Structure formats: C-alpha cells, structure tokens
Amino acid sequence: MLTVQVWEYIDQYSRKNPTFPDPGYYENIMYSGTYDINEFNFIWDKSGDPVNNIHYTIIKLVNVIYLQINDDSSAGVSCEPESVYISCQNHPHSALEFYDVVRNGITNVSVILLKRKEFLTRYAFEDMFLYKKKRSIF
C-alpha cells in the first residue's frame, strides 16, 4: 500500500489540492484502517514529477482522518472524490474507536460517533421502511 503504483490514481483527481500527492490527507479514506506501526512513508516518484516523500506516524494518520471526519457534515470521509458512502465509513469509525481504546481516548471519538448517529438518523434512515415502522411504535 505504500508503493506509488498502488496509490498513483490520486493523480487523476487531486493534483490541484494543496496536499497533493499525499494519499491519506484528502478524500481517500482507504488508508484509515491501515497499519498500527510507528511510522511509514509514501514516496511519490512518478516519471516527470519531483520525488516527494510524505512521512506519516500512526498519530498523524489518526489526526488526518479525525479532522476530515470532524469537518464533514455527515461525519464521513470521501472514498471517491466528493462522494461519502455510508458503507465506506465503518472502517474509519471503527479504527478511531479502537485507537481510542488502545491509546486512552486520544481522539475523543465519542463526539464523532454522536455526529454520525445524528446524521444517519436524520438523513440515511428517514426513507427506510423498517426504521419508520420502529419509530411509529414508540
């Protein structure tokens, strides 16, 4: 996952972002369930571009994911440009929860989980028949 051949697809849609070519920073939640190692590097070495070494620690990766989730109204992160899919959000939220358990609550993930629950309750579940049926019982 660290070789440029795996993540060079970001060239197609994020070259204009100020964080380019960092694959973890903007609209790419695929790295949220990644390694629990102290540090790793993404090295951009595509032909014709300057070589760019992007250094990450697990804490930096968690913070990047947390900030993106916190900034988004849906409490999610894009898994494709400008598209936040509900099914893609399970692993980053679970990873943050797990990280908080292991690291004694560093990310304060409870705020994010509440924001996600409120968003899902308001928008995602509204048109689901079973959800409406359960709501009417109460």
> CB–CB of 84/76 below 8 Å?
yes
Give the residue extent of every domain in the chain.
4-137
**pLDDT tier at 93 (50, 70, 90 boundaries)?**
confident
Question: At 63, which amino acid appears?
Answer: N
Task: Give the mean model confidence (pLDDT) for residues 66-81.
Answer: 84
Residue 137 above 70 pLDDT? no
Q: Is the dihedral of CA 60, 62, 64, 70 positive or negative?
A: negative
Burial label for 104, CB within 10 Å (0-12, 13-18, 19+), is exposed
